[in-house]
Amino acid sequence: MRRVRTGVAAVAVCGVLLASGCSGDAASEGPVPLATGRPHRPADPADLNGDGYADAVLGSEERGSVVLWGAKDGLDARRTSRFAVTNPLRADLDGDGYTDLVAATGGGGTVLLRGGPRGLAAPRTLRTPRGFVPRAAGDFDGDGTTDLFDGGEGGTGDTNTLPEDPGTPGRVLHGPFTANGAPARTRALDLGQHGYSSPAGVAAADFDGDGASDLVLGYAYDAQDDDNAPPDLTPVAYYKGGPSGPRRDRSREKALLAAAGPGEGGFASFPGDTDGDAAAELLVPGTAPGGHGRLTVLHGGAGGPGTGGKADVYEGEEGAFGSSVLTGRIDGDSRGDLVIGAAGAYRHDDWITVRATRAGTQRLTALDDWMPGRPNAAHWNEFIPLALLDADGDHHADLLAHAPRHNGGKGAYVLLRGTDKGLSLHGVRSLAPARLGLD
């Protein structure tokens, strides 16, 4: 298996509300009040306050998270809320029709920031097992309420775990959650492959269209010279959701592994929707036989990922083609479009490839003339797609991307508007991390 960027970064946060309505260096203009929204059932995961505009969450381990609220003119740095949490999940945990944020805390707990018509409420502690880290949210038992998943950590093959530390098991906290934050029940899952390795990457979605969320777990380990490694180690495991929660289904795992192709390292995958049906797609970056990168789209179907029709395969050049993948409706038709990141594709510069079903293909870099600001002259221009979101409510997904080495290393976030003809390269908006308190 090839080495890829897998996994979820370690979460170390504090459940403390820092500020609300602040605006970085635009504070002299005064905070702009949030539009009040209304609940949606099911809740729109992109919209935290129900006003019909998608909202962005940016953050770093050191600075916490900043919410940029969507509006008629798109994301606005004058409309921000700041919280000392990182890597939050989006989910309607309390079932009120508003999307919430859920995140782990540095002390081993989990907090909930409830979404509502006036934005996010202050963090509240959930009653979760100590050490629980929410890695994915979904309805894993199909009962119509949101559940939380943690893949666990540790194992004898984990070089970051001390031998005397047994780690933590995989767990699902099943909803509905009570008013004081307790799950209806907790189920432990043995995901550690005989105690050797815990999941490094998680893709959660309803891949078979039965109404219950499924899990694709990727593992990263180096067991080549380890005589103690279990003989049946696998880089990928598929768990099908159902009334009792996720259960291992090995029938699709060989096909998932084949989609990644040859190479070294762990298995990575992303959930998405490219065909607009009830079953989600699984997007698998990998290596083609010639050694260059490729992305395989496995269509969801009744039997799970890869059973909903012929796979779509997109090949890139050198570099980590598929280091990040997003889906959304950029050109406004009924099918999902693809945004594919390629780390270090050319002279250490990143590329972003946009494949829109109606508008065709675009290739974007931080060196392009349309890009505001100054690129890094040394050709180490990272350009990372972060989110596809309809921030201005025009039914076209916009691309939010990050160029961390732009403007002399100060970095830049850029927002490209979606149109019928793809992403517009005119009037591209740029936000400095320092303005958002993320420098």
pLDDT digits (tens, 9 = 90+) for 200-225: 999 999 999 999 999 999 998 877 76
pLDDT of residue 373: 93
Q: Which of 21-25, 89-93, 314-318, 390-394 shows the lowest mean pLDDT across its residues?
A: 21-25
The predicted pLDDT at position 22 comes to 30
Q: What is the pLDDT of residue 346?
A: 66
Interval 244-262 mean pLDDT: 94
Q: State which amino acid sits at residue 171.
A: R
16-30, 87-101, 229-243, range with the lowest pLDDT: 16-30
- Please state, rounded to an integer, the average pLDDT across all residues of the chain: 85
Work out the percent of the chain whose per-residue pLDDT is above 90. Answer: 63
pLDDT at 165: 62
In the predicted structure, residue 265 carries a pLDDT above the cut 90: no
pLDDT per position as a tens digit, 172-181: 999 999 988 9
Q: What pLDDT is stored for residue 131 in this prediction?
A: 86
pLDDT of res. 289: 81
- Give the pLDDT of residue 166: 63
283-341 tens-digit pLDDT: 999 988 877 889 999 999 999 999 999 999 998 866 688 889 999 999 988 889 999 99
**28-84: per-residue pLDDT in tens?**
333 344 455 567 768 899 999 999 999 999 998 888 999 999 999 999 888 899 999
Top-ranked range on mean pLDDT: pick from 13-22, 139-148, 163-172: 139-148
Would you state the pLDDT for residue 161? 63
Predicted TM-score (pTM) of the model is 0.88
Q: What is the pLDDT of residue 230?
A: 82
The per-residue pLDDT for 33 is: 45
pLDDT of residue 3: 31
Question: pLDDT of 113-144, one tens digit each?
Answer: 999 999 999 999 999 998 899 999 999 999 99
- For 365-421, the pLDDT digits (tens) are 999 999 999 998 777 889 999 999 999 999 999 999 999 999 999 999 999 999 999
Q: Comparing 250 with 155, which gets the higher pLDDT? A: 250
